[in-house]
Structure 1
Amino acid sequence: MVNTPHVPERTCIGCRGKAPRAQLLRLVLTDGGELAVDARAIMPGRGAWIHPDPECVDLAERRRAFGRALRMRGSPEVTRVRDWVRLHRADSGRVCTPSPTGERQTDSKGG
C-alpha cells in the first residue's frame, strides 16, 4: 500500500469549491479592522480562504461571505484583495468550479 502525504484542503468563500490550501489565498482582518491579504498564511487570527480569481472575489462580495467568514459585522472593503489578485494573477488559466458534494470517497484512514 502506498503511503500518500496528507494535503490540507480549504473551502473558497466565493465559489464554495474545495482546493488544496496552497492554491487558495488567505485573508485576515488587521487590528484596525481592515481586510488584508495573508499570502504566506502566517498572520494570527481567524482567516478566510479564497481562490486568487476575480470571479471568486465577486461571488464572495455578492454573497456577503467576507463578513460571515471573518465573523464581523458588515462587509469589509475588498479593494486590497482585488488589487492583489489583479497583480498576482496566475497565468495558468485555472477555471474555478465548485466540487459536487459527495463526490469524494474516503476510507477510515482519511484517504
Structure 2
Amino acid sequence: MPVRLDWAIRGDSNGSSMPMSCAQAASKPGYTCKSNHSECVDSTNGPGYFCNCTKGYEGNPYLSNGCSNINECERSREEFPCYGQCHDTEGSYDCKCRLGYESNGNPKENPCNPKFPLAAQITLG
C-alpha cells in the first residue's frame, strides 16, 4: 500500500515559528524552494508551504539544480501521449506526424494518417 507524507514548512530558518505562505516566504532569507525549476505550493493541511518541481521536471526542489528535465519521449504513452514522432524539449515535449502523414487535430490526441493527394484519393476511391 502506498504511503504519502503530508508535511509543510511552517517557519523560517531564523527559528521563527510564524507560519508563512509562499508569497511571504519567497522574499525571506532561507527560502527553501532552491531549484530553478521548483515552485512553491501553499499547504492545504494548515499554514505553511512546500516545494515541488515544476511540470516537466522531477527531482529535489530543495536543492540548487535539484529539478531536472523529464524526457517525456522515454516515458509511457499513457502518461505522455504521442501518435507521431516525439521530440523532447526543455520542460515538455513536441509531437508531430512524420512526413507524408497528418493528424485530424493534435497528434498528442489524434492518430496520424497517410496524406493522399486528391488524384490518389480519386483513383483509390
TM-score (norm 1): 0.24
TM-score (norm 2): 0.22
Structure with more of its chain in strand, by fraction = 2
